[in-house]
Amino acid sequence: MMDRIEFGEFGTAMGWSSNQYKCRKLLVMAILLTILFMAVNSVVWAVEEKISTAQDQENIAIAIYNENLALIKDTRKVLLDKDVNRLAWRDVSAQIRSETAILRSLADSTKFQLLEQNFDFDLLTPAKLLEKYMGKEILVIRTNSATGVETSETAIVLSTNEGVILKFNDRIEAGVPGRLVFPGVPQNLRDKPTLLITLLSSKLGKQDLELSYLTQGLSWHADYVIALDETNHLLDLSGLVTLTNRSGIAYHNAKLQLIAGDVNQIQTESHVGRKMMALTTEAADAMRMKQEPLFEYHLYTLQHPTTLLENQTKQVALMSATNIVFNKEYLLQGTDYYYSGKYDMLNQKHKINILINFRNKGEALGIPLPKGIARVYKKDSQGNSQFVGEDHIDHTANNEVIRLQLGNAFDITADKIQTDFQQIASTMHHANIFETAYQITLKNAKKETITVKVQEPIPGDWSVISESLPHVKLNAGLAEWQIPVAAESETKLNYRVRVKY
């Protein structure tokens, strides 16, 4: 009896070539795999869906990054059947990046296998419900306004574009003629964002499952409040972290961590849009956050659980320090293009910038500070705090200097004029050589002596030929003069620079 057919026998008998036989063999295998998949799929869909909500939650941890990104770790105790389970994991972020979702068993991962997961973000609304019943039958109930008697009849939804069109047995009507009654909610339409997970479990019983995923809609930034003392030598610094939750769900009693640093992300188009509602604000938490390094970033951990409600802004304390020594600076900054041409109209009053600087060091300060906005206040003669300026600070490591520009001085001005300009013949190494001279007049209307830093960015290969006060070369393209100006007086700076290009 023949128990197999070789190509030489069967293929030749059918008149097929070797390639034709291989193609037909692959086609048969594909058909068999499709049938097998459909059979397995039908078994999966026959399994009753299990629903897990936030009530099953045993622990939730949130790590929020600077750039509208957070890592969620949601641990729940879920009753699983042996073999196939269809688990509807509700109360996930509406802005979940579903491709990052990972579900694992904390008890025994070897007896747990993930088959498939789908994120259902098509949420239940009247418009969506009508849209899902396009071409299907619904019930329309009318109430007689005079008698209060209700009548009902069936209709087919023909269209929901720019209004509702219904087909009754004897007519077609536009608009909603009464109450619409639907037989049920379509399977892929959810009242909340839901991650639908198909998995295999080797045993029956409750298991601790952890779902981790990345999401947008959660963000944080640091805000700093600085109070200057009356002597203009000491300041108090308080740091607050402002948290914003627009992810679509609330997080109750969550373990909260913040990661400061610039984490690289691949930018992709967001496929889920959500309404942003008005935000509420909670008072600052009194407990300072614990800081530690993480890879090349810094991690800040809130010392107790907190709740982040949906569409809420909350502030928690980051740090505080008092009696920090600071310096006040007056700065006049020039422009590099002044050194390659002749300028006759420069003698208008130039603004003098006001800056303060202090070093991030000490027992109370001395921790890596995340980037944010620092707002500075000073008390007036009556003891009332007045706002005097704000500036951004970048991520600042321990022992680094923080410099804040607060505004422009009212009582200090500068006039700048070009006193000479010459173009000198070129050389073998330099095509252009210029000599230019300037006079800067600094005027101080205050009743105290001040020092103004004059910083001039100078391009090319440059040297100072002459000067009335000595300069310091801060770097290859920057010269600085520190000029004392007596009270209610003025001081002139004269200098000549040679620039080679």
Name which of 107-116, 202-211, 300-309, 385-394 the model is least confident about.
Answer: 107-116
In this prediction, residue 402 has a pLDDT band, given cuts at 50, 70 and 90, of very high
Angle between helix axes 18-46 and 7-14 (nearest 10 degrees) is 100
380 inside domain: no
86 inside domain: no
Average pLDDT over residues 412-432: 84
219 inside domain: no
CA-CA distances (angstroms) from residue 469 to 263, 277, 476?
46, 60, 20
Nearest to 90 by CA among 244, 248, 207: 248
Greater confidence (30 vs 169) lies with 169
* Total count of domains within the chain: 3
Greatest C-alpha distance within the chain: 120
Same domain, 336 and 460: yes
Query: Which amino acid, one-letter code, is at 143?
Result: T
Model confidence over 160-198: pLDDT tens digits?
Answer: 888 898 999 989 988 888 888 888 877 666 777 788 889
In this prediction, residue 5 has a pLDDT band, given cuts at 50, 70 and 90, of very low
| CB burial string 181-196: b at 16+ within 10 A, e below | ebeeebeebbebbbbb
Q: What is the pLDDT at residue 335?
A: 87
208 inside domain: no
Model confidence over 43-61: pLDDT tens digits?
Answer: 444 568 888 998 999 999 9
The answer, yes or no, to whether residue 203 has pLDDT greater than 80, is yes
316 inside domain: no
Same domain, 467 and 334: yes
Model confidence over 423-469: pLDDT tens digits?
Answer: 887 766 667 888 999 999 999 999 999 999 999 999 988 999 999 99
- Residue 29: which residues within 8 A CB-CB, separation 6 or more? none
Distance from chain centroid for Cα 345? 45
Same domain, 21 and 133: no
221 inside domain: no
Domain encompassing residue 151: 126-181
The answer, yes or no, to whether residue 282 has pLDDT greater than 50, is no
Same domain, 343 and 447: yes
Q: How far apart are CA 145 and CA 178, in angstroms?
A: 12
Q: How far apart are CA 194 and CA 120, in angstroms?
A: 5
Average pLDDT over residues 116-144: 82
Same domain, 453 and 332: yes
Question: To the nearest 5 percent, what fractions of the chain are helix, strand and coil?
Answer: 10, 55, 35
Name which of 229-238, 293-302, 410-419 the model is least confident about.
Answer: 293-302
Highest mean pLDDT among 82-91, 112-121, 280-289, 468-477: 468-477
Q: What is the pLDDT at residue 431?
A: 74
Length of the chain: 501
At 336 the three-state DSSP class reads helix
Distance from chain centroid for Cα 390? 22
Mean residue pLDDT across the chain: 82
**Percent with pLDDT over 90 in the chain:** 38
**Cβ atoms 442, 494 nearer than 8 A:** no
**Cβ atoms 361, 399 nearer than 8 A:** yes
Same domain, 32 and 145: no
CATH code for the domain in which residue 423 is found: 2.60.40
Nearest to 57 by CA among 249, 242, 314: 249
134 inside domain: yes
Q: What is the DSSP string of 422-454?
A: EEEPP-SS-S-EEEEEEEEEEEE-SSS-EEEEE
Strand partners, 96: 215
Same domain, 333 and 448: yes
Q: What is the pLDDT at residue 21?
A: 55
Name which of 24-28, 224-228, 339-343, 357-361 the model is least confident about.
Answer: 24-28
Q: How far apart are CA 158 and CA 135, in angstroms?
A: 6
- Host H or E run for residue 45: helix 18-46
Last residue of a domain, one of 161, 181, 201: 181
Full strand arrangement of the beta sheet holding 280-285: 280-285, 312-325, 234-245, 218-228, 372-379, 385-393
Model confidence over 139-152: pLDDT tens digits?
Answer: 999 988 888 888 98
Query: Which amino acid, one-letter code, is at 201?
Result: S
In this prediction, residue 264 has a pLDDT band, given cuts at 50, 70 and 90, of low
111 inside domain: no
Tokens of 401: 């200097």
Strand partners, 436: 421, 497
In this prediction, residue 12 has a pLDDT band, given cuts at 50, 70 and 90, of very low
Same domain, 42 and 132: no
Model confidence over 285-330: pLDDT tens digits?
Answer: 445 566 555 555 667 888 788 898 999 999 888 888 999 999 999 9
Q: What is the pLDDT at residue 119?
A: 77
Greater confidence (180 vs 20) lies with 180
Last residue of a domain, one of 181, 206, 221: 181
Tokens of 51: 């629903």
Q: How far apart are CA 114 and CA 209, in angstroms?
A: 12
Start-to-end CA distance of the chain, whole Å, equals 96
